Amino acid sequence: MNAAWWRETWLFARREIEERSRARSFRITTVIMIFAVAAAVVIPALVSHHHKVEKVGLLEGSDSALTQAAIAAGRVTGNQVQVVPIGSLDAARAELRSGALVAVIVDGREVLIKQQPVTGTTSSTATFSGALAQLVGVAQRLPPGASRLALTNGIALPIRGVEPAPRSLANRFTGLGVDLLIYLVIFFYGMAITQSVGEEKTSRVVEVLLATVRPTQLLTGKVIGFAGLAFAQMLVLGVTFVVCGVAVGSHALRGTAGAVALIGALWLILGYALYCSAFAAAGAMITRQSDAGYAALPLLIPLIAAYSLSSSVLFNGANPFYHVLAFIPWTAPVAMPTLFAIGVAPAWEMIVSAVLCVLATIATARLAGLVYQRSVMRTGARVKLRQVLRAGPT
């Protein structure tokens, strides 16, 4: 693989990028996706910015000065606060679970909320309860009897959830979006690779090309070209996501939702690398352009399976079967980000699965390269996989 090798291979990649990005269908899809991402970021933010009255419970017998602190906490976070007295701690817990109250101040000692916020998240509840804890803490300092301990520990009161800390809902929605993107990118670009290889074969231009370059160059160039297009498209969508998110102050930008998106991007690269060569081999086996869909379909089945189960996993939790899927290289690119989004994929699982995926990618690329070389010049009847693997080079 010397400079000339890469120069020629890059010509194929560039041709693919130029020709595809010129196509009207590509431009229209990109514009639609940009609008979809912008809408997904902007609409929830606009809806959640409706000022509503946040009800804060104050356990009976507490200092009435805390009421002022709670209202002040609402003011600084852009919420209107109504303080309601609560008879008992049990009643407070029930009200929090039902969502009637957003927070309860317990004897000026702690702030109780429904769910422990994940560190770093800045959902409206997390922001508000943080401010509440600060201001109530300040209010607590003023009257006599404020303990030295409270001062040394900082002013803010501890925030406690009545339910254990979850992965936030934002993560689940981000996971949903990430899964959809991984699925769509591999699906559409995979099909496009199959069709593009099939077109080169059925139009016989491949004979002209292979008279000069090696099949691996043609294959590598094509895969790189489509990858360039896919990642450029993803980059545009990512920038749209960030710009819109900053503009409307979306919560999707902060906290662990970003980590979910990042892990998703990593698995998109792994998944694309795994699948792309196989799609090219499928394209090399067809003899009519209309067969491209049938040739690519078997490759899509694991991806479709992992994707169709993912939304159920995101909102109902993972089962052992889905954990197994997360270790099978062909389903892992969708399954692993899903598990990560709901917070049940420890780092070691992620690393083991990624290593398996890379190994599978190498094996697939070798096999696909062989199938491609042996079938791309074969015309006549549809090439059967078994024949190709048995036969020597043609």
Partner 1 sequence: MRAVFGLVALDGGEVRWCGGPIGERERRRFGYMPEERGLYPGMRIFDQLVFLGQLHGLQVGPAREAALLWTERLGLADRRADRLEMLSHGNQQRVQLAACLVHAPELLILDEPFAGLDPVAVDAFSAILAERASAGATVLFSSHQLDLVEHLCEAVAIVNCGRLIIEGRVEELARSGPPRLQVRVAGDPVGEWARDGLAGVESVEVGPDGTVTLTLFAGADAQAILDAARRAGPVAHFSFARRRLSDVFREAVGLADVPAEMRIPASAPIAPPAEGTRP
Q: What residues line the site for partner 1 (CB under 8 A)?
A: 4, 8, 11, 15, 18-19, 199-200, 203-214, 377, 379, 393-394
Alpha carbon distance 114, 97 (integer Å): 6
CB of 215 to partner 1, least distance (A): 10
Retrieve residue 200's tokens.
């080169």
Which backbone phi and psi does 212 adopt, to 5 degrees?
A: -115, -40
CB of 243 to partner 1, least distance (A): 34
One-letter identity of residue 323: H
CB of 238 to partner 1, least distance (A): 30
Alpha carbon distance 368, 362 (integer Å): 10
Alpha carbon distance 24, 236 (integer Å): 17
Retrieve residue 206's tokens.
């491949």
Block residue for tokens 């009519």 = 288
Residue 6 vs 327, nearer CB to partner 1: 6
CB of 23 to partner 1, least distance (A): 9
Alpha carbon distance 93, 104 (integer Å): 8
Residue 12 vs 241, nearer CB to partner 1: 12
CB of 365 to partner 1, least distance (A): 22
Residue 312 vs 379, nearer CB to partner 1: 379
Residue 10 vs 231, nearer CB to partner 1: 10
Alpha carbon distance 16, 281 (integer Å): 17
CB of 304 to partner 1, least distance (A): 29
Is 294:382 a contact under the CB 8 Å cutoff?
A: no
Retrieve residue 229's tokens.
């297009």
Residue 19 vs 163, nearer CB to partner 1: 19
CB of 204 to partner 1, least distance (A): 3
Residue 192 vs 248, nearer CB to partner 1: 192
**Helical H segments across the chain, by residue range:** 3-22, 24-48, 65-76, 89-98, 124-141, 148-152, 169-202, 205-210, 215-248, 257-285, 292-316, 320-325, 332-341, 347-375, 385-390
Residue 122 vs 287, nearer CB to partner 1: 287
